[in-house]
Structure 1
Amino acid sequence: MESWATFGGDLHLDLTGRRAGGLGLRAALEDALREAVQDGRLAPGTRLPSSRALGGDLGIARNTVVEAYTQLTAEGWLTARQGTGTTVADRAAPPVPATASETAPTRPPVRYDLLPGRPDLSLFPRSAWLAAARRALTAAPDEALGYGSPLGRIELRRALAAYLARVRGVRTDPERILVCSGHTQGLGLLCGVLRERGATSLAVEAYGLAPLRAVVAASGLTRAALELDEGGARTDALAGTGAGAVLLTPAHQFPVGAPLSAHRRAAAVEWARRTDGFVIEDDYDGEFRYDRQPVGAMQALDPERVVHSGTASKSLAPGLRLGWLALPRALVAPVARLKQLADAQSGVLDQLTLAELIGSGTYDRHVRRCRLHYRRRRDRLVAALAERAPGVRVTGVAAGLHAVLLLPPDGPSEAELIARGAAAGLALGALADCHDEGAGAAPAPPGLVIGYGTPPEHAFAGALDALCGLLGRG
């Protein structure tokens, strides 16, 4: 076998093709190694296998390898030192032609990130996660590391069923919970099932996360907008939408912030019963409330008509890609089938670790610490804006990790503030970007959506100063 050499990893050396082109064996080896150095597959400092090992791997004489190494060393491609073997020599990197994007004017780097939808990643409980992962892996049966149910590991589904019942009032059992890669994948799976059931439209709130609109559009469903007021989405308008389901954020509407009122929750569930439809409850910011009593999950009103969707993206980190769906019985099999087709199952080790965190009580303690941390940030933001930008009205801050700043009519426009912020290295969210124009919703008032949970703690004071300087009296 003369195509592969192993030196800790595999390296493809095409000697057969070169010899067919008329090169001798040694010349073919030299040419293959030279090309591997030139194209970067053999980086400077890489230690090559011994002449005996490479000759054995390629099925050629050791002396042929020695002669090839000697020639390439003489040319400066390789370096040979007694005691350290043969390594790839340091060489100046060839100039790389500039691309159009590199020659275009560059925007200032982001110094302060106040975009919404993300937590303070410096809060991730690294030590607790490592300890839980060690315990979980030690206790895991061997079969846990193989292919399993598309619903997810039973350890996590049991832990979630108990946790969601205790903390959010969800009525479910482990057999009706599916672990997925965050709310994004969960929504995509649900949209696929809705299409299979004959639905052509999904009712949505007039404001929401733009990436989720893309998920709905990619599924082939159209969107019908429900307008918002202080009571949340106008679910009394569902009857005229022709939708097969409705997507709501009842705990803390994104981005406006209002919880869905009790009578509108009941109206949505009654609509679903009457039309054989479903309510998809995105439990956005359900863990983080500050100035009001906990708002229970809407799913408890009718577990056979409401899908409860939650994630660990805010409480832990979005990079974990851990979410879950508490499903009506009629949707368990079809959603699990699509999950099986999508990726077979979510990562097992992280599932086992989260199950251990929840079962040990560590997850509860972590969420409580985060809730206090974000409440203090919210209070600092509100106080600073009241003092230094009194013309800006702050709304939607009774829960969650973001605030909506409604702009005064006689001040700079939303677009102008976004541009000024970008020039100063301040990343801000625009309320207009959350507005679902494609669903027929009314235009958005001018405003900013500020993710006060996003910056790490050491940067929050500077981010607050930059924001107030942009909006008010500095």
Structure 2
Amino acid sequence: MIDIMMMLDDKSDKPLYAQLYQHIKKEIVNGKIAANTRLPSIRALSSHLHISRNTVELAYHQLIAEGYVQSKPRSGLFVIELELEKLPTLSPSKGPTLEISKQEETPMRYDFRYGNVDAANFPLTTWRKLSIQSLQPEHAALFSYGDPQGEPELRYEIAKYLYDSRGVNCSPEQIIIGAGIQYLLGLLCGLLRIVAGNALGMEEPGYDGVRAIFHHHGFDVHPIELEKNGLSLKQLYASESRIVYITPSHQFPYGMVMPLAKRMQLLTWANDKNGIIIEDDYDSEFRYVGKPIPSLQSLDTNHRTVYLGTFSKSLLPSLRIAYMVLPPALLELHHKQDYRLVDHTVSMIHQHTLALFMSKGHWDAHIRKMRNVYHKKQTALIGAIRQLMGEQTSVIGQAAGLHILLRVHNGMNEQELIHTAAEEGVRVYAVSPFWAQRAKAETSMVQIGFGGLTIEEIVMGVQALQHAWFGTTPHDAGSKSISKNSSDS
């Protein structure tokens, strides 16, 4: 482990976490922090630099997201071995000069990044109008700090929406609004350690960003393997965990939907273990096959479920608005822990604008529209893959959400698939980081997100992937046929 020495500028326009992230990133790129070096713990670095733990946590999250460091279970955060000659470097004598890596010589024409959304269909005119309305003098109270749990008007609208769409039973007082799921999980971790210890079960594979949060807060995360209908309850019981984090509406990353029978069995586990279920209901708005299954929270008569949701995929990630529904016992503990003394992390103006957006019916109309838009994109993606690659690939997780997994049967491993795609100007993404036990990860699979591309871009991107992975180019007439059929779907 190393000491990180730097001066943070409180008066800078750049947030403290961004300053810290940039400093550590620069030290890694320039080789001053070597590969496999263990970074200080969140607690140690916040104490050393006299900054909040949230600031350090946000900086570390960004480093993880960009692939500079990785979290190792029960060990800490370690710098990853990088090909430094391929990274941009800063010349100390001449100031900032960007050295373009060989990997970037081929421009990326199509980026199948999961998390990108269709910003072109964001109702900008309506949002701008409501934002201006929120800035009127009669709403001057919005220019202050606001309620630490989030604005009451927005919490009321969220409670109403969750009941109507997912059957969630809660009052506005049970809802906490925060700047993203990871921030809210950070709040939750402090409560969970008090009531349920530090052993936590999590789907294997599962969202690596969430796993990192739990590791940073000192939890002993037990990987629970997946079955065809969700995580293994047998392994969950054997793990002796009293907390479990799950994505039942659209398992991340495999996309399976947990059936009602297993949901009821999971609630039985919570009662047997006096445990807590963390239900991350992400992507629940975008389900394309079958009828929606009630949320776990709506089935939980013993109040052992924490419910999480976000507006990042349904509106815009940059709004940074997510919410958490606490059961009564955890809500009472939350108040006792003086969390209400912590300033809120989401703009009051954005909160008020979203409350107006929901109360005036724009939200429901937007969700209906985007569900149709994304379904057409997914249909175009899967149709192009099947027509161009046929049985040479297998599509996984098409029931819901804004991404699929693609298993490619050409003998290439994950990195080879990504590299050859990049040579054709297409960016696809690794799946192996979602495994806590990397050795068990599938070796010939990539993640393909489709939210941020047009249907034409999706089809052309798949054509480029077919050429990259199988070395053949579709006939021009066939390509046009695919594009036209996909657009009509």
Task: Check whether TM > 0.5.
Answer: yes
Separation (CA, whole Å) in 2 of partners of 1:298 and 1:466: 41
| 1:397 matched residue in structure 2 | 398
Alignment of 1:83-102 (within 5 A): 97=94, 102=99
Separation (CA, whole Å) in 2 of partners of 1:242 and 1:290: 36
Q: CA RMSD in A?
A: 2.6
| 1:58 matched residue in structure 2 | none
- AA aligned to 2:352 is L
Q: Is the 8 Å Cα contact of residues 263 and 296 (structure 2) preserved in structure 1?
A: yes
| 1:223 matched residue in structure 2 | 221
| 2:431 matched residue in structure 1 | 431
Separation (CA, whole Å) in 2 of partners of 1:259 and 1:140: 46
CA positional deviation for 1:103: 7.2
Q: TM-score, with normalisation over the residues of structure 2?
A: 0.72
SS in 2 for 1:293: coil
* CA deviation profile, 1:371-399 (whole Å, cap 9, x unmatched): 11111111111111111111101121011
Alignment of 1:293-304 (within 5 A): 293-302=291-300, 304=303
| 1:263 matched residue in structure 2 | 261
- AA aligned to 2:426 is L
Work out whether 1:313 is the aligned partner of 2:312: yes
| 1:12 matched residue in structure 2 | none
| 1:453 matched residue in structure 2 | 451
SS in 2 for 1:172: coil
CA positional deviation for 1:129: 0.9
| 2:66 matched residue in structure 1 | none
Separation (CA, whole Å) in 2 of partners of 1:116 and 1:338: 37
Relative to structure 2, which stretch is displaced further, 295-304 or 141-150?
A: 141-150
CA positional deviation for 1:322: 0.1
| 1:372 matched residue in structure 2 | 372
Separation (CA, whole Å) in 2 of partners of 1:238 and 1:139: 54
C-alpha change, 1:343 and 1:112, in structure 2 (3 Å) is farther
SS in 2 for 1:405: strand
Relative to structure 2, which stretch is displaced further, 155-164 or 429-438?
A: 429-438
- AA aligned to 2:360 is S
Alignment of 1:56-455 (within 5 A): 97=94, 102=99, 105=102, 107-108=104-105, 109-138=107-136, 141-197=139-195, 199-302=197-300, 304-335=303-334, 337=337, 340=340, 343-390=343-390, 391-408=392-409, 410-437=410-437, 442-455=440-453
Relative to structure 2, which stretch is displaced further, 420-429 or 455-464?
A: 455-464
CA positional deviation for 1:178: 0.6
- AA aligned to 1:402 is H
- AA aligned to 1:405 is L
Which protein is bigger by CA-based radius of gyration?
1
SS in 1 for 2:99: helix
Separation (CA, whole Å) in 2 of partners of 1:259 and 1:139: 47
Separation (CA, whole Å) in 1 of partners of 2:338 and 2:99: 41
- AA aligned to 1:354 is L
CA positional deviation for 1:343: 4.2
Q: Is the 8 Å Cα contact of residues 282 and 309 (structure 1) preserved in structure 2?
A: yes
C-alpha change, 1:227 and 1:135, in structure 2 (3 Å) is same
Q: TM-score, with normalisation over the residues of structure 1?
A: 0.74
C-alpha change, 1:100 and 1:130, in structure 2 (3 Å) is closer
Identity of aligned residues (%): 33
Separation (CA, whole Å) in 2 of partners of 1:405 and 1:457: 18
Separation (CA, whole Å) in 2 of partners of 1:207 and 1:339: 32
Relative to structure 2, which stretch is displaced further, 110-119 or 412-421?
A: 110-119
Q: Is the 8 Å Cα contact of residues 411 and 444 (structure 2) preserved in structure 1?
A: no
- AA aligned to 1:288 is F
- AA aligned to 2:94 is P
Separation (CA, whole Å) in 1 of partners of 2:366 and 2:401: 16
Q: Is the 8 Å Cα contact of residues 122 and 457 (structure 1) preserved in structure 2?
A: no
SS in 2 for 1:227: strand
Q: Is the 8 Å Cα contact of residues 299 and 308 (structure 1) preserved in structure 2?
A: yes
CA positional deviation for 1:280: 0.7
- AA aligned to 1:448 is V
Relative to structure 2, which stretch is displaced further, 210-219 or 187-196?
A: 187-196
Q: Is the 8 Å Cα contact of residues 112 and 426 (structure 2) preserved in structure 1?
A: yes
SS in 2 for 1:404: strand
- AA aligned to 1:221 is F
* CA deviation profile, 1:230-273 (whole Å, cap 9, x unmatched): 20112342212122311110101111111012222112212222
Separation (CA, whole Å) in 1 of partners of 2:372 and 2:216: 38
Structure with the bigger RCO (C-alpha within 8 Å, sep 6+) is 1
- AA aligned to 2:365 is R
